[in-house]
Structure 1
Amino acid sequence: MSTGFEEVRLSLPHIELAAHLYGPEDGLPVLALHGWLDNAASFARLAPKLQGLRIVALDFAGHGHSDHRAAGAGYALWDYAFDVLQVAEQFGWQRFSILGHSMGAITAVLLAAAMPERIARLALIDGLVPYTGEAEQAPAKLGEALRARQALSDKRKPVYAEMARAVEARMKGVGAVSREAAELLAQRGLMPVPGGYTWRTDSRLTLPSPLRLSWAHAQAFVRALQCPVSLVLAEQGMMGAQPAVRALLQDLPFEVHRLPGGHHLHLDDETGAQLVADCFNPFLRSP
């Protein structure tokens, strides 16, 4: 597996983020956004297979080697969207494409719908809309989130005596992954502590959302997209079982590819990564 990249740190006005750079400096600009609790290594198999692109694979705030947000701050999707804009500004990219997986794909959709003049193309992997919540559920959900936030200081991250145990835990986590994929994510996502290893991720990332977009909100963002969209759906992924999403896709001019594999099909093995690359190479390089 060819994973040649340059490690960089990006000093934004409000936070410092880490990233991997792939491809030639004069390649077409692409920001790669990973999923929840993952990191830039999510694109270690896929990015080298994408040709003619300058890919900036971010560690989102609170993930990987990026800084955690300040005390009292949160991790809303629109905060990630602002981070993405600030990264593009740092590279001098007025218009760029986004390669997004899961939460990264959802963030990409929100940003592209809100600021269509900035986004050229969206290449999405098993992600489109966030988990939604309707108005009648909002008071209870906010109460749940506030209680969880108050209780967070009493919780401690798990410590694994050996890295292999952390890898096994990640294999069974949300969006189960292959052992090789878990190893790649763990190599970047773990840090040594007394007694072994623990995850670098900010504990606040596990808190429930205080407020969710309604289904009407989610649809509005998707329908507002003006740029070309290519969406890869994993046959054993997390989107295929959502009837509302399937119905929405039937009414949209998206390029949709249904590929074998799980939610992390682009990272689980070389075959899956190549299948995804075969979909996105012609798409991302189109004029």
Structure 2
Amino acid sequence: MSAQVEEVRLSLPHIELAAHVYGPADGHPVLAVHGWMDNAMSFARLIPKLDGLRIVAVDLAGHGYSDHRPPGTGYLIWDYVYDLLHVANQFGWERFSLLGHSMGAIVSTLLAGTVPERVQRLALIDAIIPHTSKPEAAPQELAAAFESLMAQKGKRRRVHESLEAAIEARVKGKVPLNREASELLAQRGVMPVPGGYIWRTDPRLALSSPLRLTFDQAMAFVRRVTCPVNLIVAEQGYLKRIPHALEPLRGLPIDIVEQPGPHHLHLESEAGAQAVADCFNRFFRTA
């Protein structure tokens, strides 16, 4: 990101979050929401290419420079919605738009469906519908979540012997990235500790979800969105790996655009970031 970026700390009633603020003070207000295990640097290549926007790129709780949730609590997806509403209120934004990638796109959709009167535009990258489960699976999923939470007690965090090793671990992670993208995320995601380096992300982020929405519940949020929606689908990304993932969106007023590239197409290359920026600049100009 350029020198125009301002680093801020946001003291919410229940947690303190970190964020980047970018763009003209009178620009269209946008909350940028990164994906699981990423941080605000997810938008480092994209944000400078967006025009006329006042963007607050947040490190979600448990990520980057933001605080972790208190002991005894977890990372329910709707808690992020609550956090972001507080962030918007702190900036005095009665109405604002959302730019989300992956889990951040899902959180953005949930927010826009929860308070549709407050969201003006929804710009999404490679995700939209929350992960779902069948109702009969809920008891087993809750049991598995409790088991994983109890097994977490006393578990030591992985310490990488060098910064290079930490970056390489992210390259080969559950959601693989190229090296340039991993290096960008490491700028606010890795910290030195005795014996080496660790990723700042809260280990509890990897725990099983205790409860998921049913498909009908998830689609109720999507259908309640009233603002214009622009969804970019990466041709080698997440949505393309799920059979019929876009079928539930047919007939809804959602502009779906396919772009070449992987799940992190906006971060892994300048060309990918420019392609996403071109699409979203057109989208926001019609506001």
> What TM-score do you get using the length of structure 1 for normalisation?
0.97
Measure how far apart 1:3 and its partner are: 6.5
Do structure 1's residue 139 and structure 2's residue 139 form an aligned pair?
Answer: yes
Do structure 1's residue 220 and structure 2's residue 226 form an aligned pair?
Answer: no
Q: Which runs of 5+ in 2 are unaligned?
A: none
Matched-pair identity in %: 61
Match of 1:203 in 2: 203
In 1, the alpha carbon distance for the partners of 2:56 and 2:147 equals 37
Q: Which structure 1 residue ranges, 4+ long, deviate > 6 Å from structure 2? A: none
What letter is aligned with 1:154? G
Match of 1:112 in 2: 112
Measure how far apart 1:2 and its partner are: 4.3
SS at match of 2:246: helix
Q: Deviations over 1:55-94 (max 9, x none)?
A: 0000001100001111222211110001000000000000
Do structure 1's residue 15 and structure 2's residue 15 form an aligned pair?
Answer: yes
SS at match of 1:55: strand
Match of 1:88 in 2: 88
In 2, the alpha carbon distance for the partners of 1:258 and 1:84 equals 28
What letter is aligned with 2:20? H
Q: CA RMSD in A?
A: 1.2
In 2, the alpha carbon distance for the partners of 1:210 and 1:34 equals 22
In 2, the alpha carbon distance for the partners of 1:3 and 1:214 equals 44
In 1, the alpha carbon distance for the partners of 2:84 and 2:157 equals 28
What letter is aligned with 1:243? P
Q: Deviations over 1:135-187 (max 9, x none)?
A: 11111111110011111013222111111111111112122111110001012
Contact 1:10 1:17 (C-alpha < 8 Å) held by counterparts: yes
Contact 1:237 1:262 (C-alpha < 8 Å) held by counterparts: yes
Contact 1:3 1:48 (C-alpha < 8 Å) held by counterparts: no
In 2, the alpha carbon distance for the partners of 1:160 and 1:150 equals 25
Do structure 1's residue 99 and structure 2's residue 99 form an aligned pair?
Answer: yes
Contact 1:3 1:45 (C-alpha < 8 Å) held by counterparts: no
In 2, the alpha carbon distance for the partners of 1:68 and 1:47 equals 25
Q: Deviations over 1:89-135 (max 9, x none)?
A: 00000000000000110001111011101100000001111221111
SS at match of 1:154: coil
Contact 1:4 1:48 (C-alpha < 8 Å) held by counterparts: no
